[in-house]
C-alpha cells in the first residue's frame, strides 16, 4: 500500500477516533507522481541511525548539517571527502648492520585512503662510511615500487658520510594499504646509521 495507519481494522470491527490520529507507517515505495511533499521535515538525530542503507538521509542536529549514507560512510552532500593523513616519525638512531637488508625500524604504516589517491613522503638521514654503498626503497603491500628519490651527501671527515634521503610518490590506486621502507647495504662488514626518519601518507583530491 505504501503509506497506511499503524492501527488497522477489519471490516465490521469497532474503531475509535483517537486511532485515526495514530502514526502512519511506510511499508513500500511511495510514488509522489512529481507532486511536492510540502512542509516536510527530514528526520532529526544527534547520532547516525543504525543499520543504514545507501541513500538514507537525516539531519545531524549536532553538526547542523544534512547527512547522506553513500553505502560506506555518512557524508555531507556537496562537501569535500574526508581527508586522511597517516604518519610515523622516529628520532632515535638505529643501526643497519652488515650486508643485506630489511625493513627500516619504525617505518611501516597502514593507511586507508578515502579518496583513492595518496601522496607518500619519506625523509631520512643516513650515516655511513665514504665507501659504503646503500639503497633505500619504498614498498606498498610488500611490493617494491618506483618512486622519485633524491639524496644529498656531506663528507664529515674521518671517513664519515651523511646522506639526506627524500622519497615522494603519487599513488592513484590507493585503498587500505601497508607502506614501508626497505634498506639494502651493498658493502660487506659495514654499518649504516639511520635517524630522523618520517614516513607520511596523505589523501589528495
Q: What's 46's DSSP letter?
A: S
Higher pLDDT, 69 or 160: 69
Does residue 164 fall inside a structural domain? yes
Query: What is the distance between the terminal CA atoms of the chain, rounded to a whole angstrom?
Result: 45
Does residue 7 fall inside a structural domain? no
Say how many CA atoms lie within 13 Å of 118 toward its Cβ: 26
What mean pLDDT comes out for the span 154-182? Answer: 85
pLDDT band at residue 194 using 50, 70 and 90 as cut-offs = confident
The dihedral built from the CA positions of residue 7, 10, 16 and 21, taken in this order, carries a sign that is: positive
Q: What is the pLDDT of residue 1?
A: 47
Does residue 12 fall inside a structural domain? no
Tell me the pLDDT tens digit for each residue of 77-133. Answer: 876 666 778 988 988 888 887 666 788 888 999 999 988 899 999 999 888 776 667
User: The C-alpha cell of 129 is what?
Assistant: 662510511
Q: What is the pLDDT of residue 17?
A: 58
Domain region containing 172:
85-203
Domain count, the chain: 1
Does residue 122 fall inside a structural domain? yes
The least confident of 29-33, 37-41, 53-57, 142-146 is 29-33
User: The C-alpha cell of 174 is what?
Assistant: 590507493
Does residue 139 fall inside a structural domain? yes
Residues 6+ apart with CB under 8 A from 79: 65
What mean pLDDT comes out for the span 167-175? Answer: 93
Average pLDDT taken over every residue of the chain: 81
Q: What's 20's DSSP letter?
A: H
Rg from Cα positions in the chain: 30
What mean pLDDT comes out for the span 40-58? Answer: 92
Conformational region of residue 20, where left means phi above 0, alpha means psi within -120 to 50, and beta covers everything else: alpha
User: The C-alpha cell of 2 is what?
Assistant: 505504501
Q: What is the pLDDT of residue 139?
A: 94
Higher pLDDT, 12 or 37: 37
Does residue 119 fall inside a structural domain? yes
User: The C-alpha cell of 51 is what?
Assistant: 543499520
Q: Is-above-0.75 flag for pTM?
A: no
Distance CA 119, CA 10 (A): 65
- E strands, the chain, in order: 3-5, 24-26, 44-45, 57-60, 65-69, 74-75, 85-90, 94-97, 100-112, 118-129, 134-140, 143-145, 148-157, 160-171, 176-185, 191-203
pLDDT at 35 over 70: yes
Does residue 32 fall inside a structural domain? no
Query: Percent of the chain having pLDDT more than 90?
Result: 30
Query: Percent of the chain having pLDDT more than 70?
Result: 75
CATH of the domain at 167: 2.60.120.1340
| Cell 589517491, residue located | 117
Does residue 28 fall inside a structural domain? no
Amino acid at each position: 500500500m505504501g503509506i497506511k495507519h499503524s492501527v488497522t481494522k477489519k471490516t465490521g470491527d469497532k474503531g475509535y477516533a483517537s486511532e485515526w490520529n495514530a502514526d502512519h507507517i511506510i511499508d513500500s515505495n511511495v510514488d509522489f507522481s512529481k507532486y511536492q511533499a510540502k512542509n516536510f521535515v527530514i528526520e532529526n538525530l544527534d547520532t547516525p541511525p543504525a543499520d543504514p542503507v545507501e541513500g538514507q538521509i537525516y539531519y545531524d542536529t549536532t553538526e547542523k548539517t544534512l547527512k547522506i549514507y553513500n553505502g560506506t560512510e555518512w557524508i555531507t552532500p556537496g562537501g569535500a571527502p574526508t581527508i586522511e593523513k597517516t604518519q610515523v616519525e622516529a628520532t632515535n638512531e638505529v643501526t643497519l648492520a652488515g650486508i643485506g637488508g630489511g625493513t627500516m625500524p619504525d617505518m611501516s604504516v597502514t593507511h586507508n585512503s578515502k579518496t583513492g589517491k595518496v601522496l607518500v613522503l619519506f625523509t631520512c638521514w643516513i650515516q655511513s662510511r665514504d665507501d659504503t654503498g646503500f639503497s633505500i626503497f619504498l614498498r606498498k603491500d610488500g611490493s617494491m615500487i618506483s618512486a622519485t628519490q633524491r639524496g644529498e651527501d656531506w663528507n664529515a671527515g674521518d671517513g664519515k658520510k651523511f646522506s639526506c634521503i627524500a622519497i615522494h610518490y603519487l599513488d592513484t590506486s590507493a585503498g587500505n594499504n601497508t607502506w614501508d621502507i626497505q634498506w639494502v647495504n651493498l658493502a660487506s662488514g659495514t654499518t649504516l646509521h639511520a635517524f630522523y626518519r618520517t614516513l607520511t601518507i596523505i589523501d589528495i583530491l
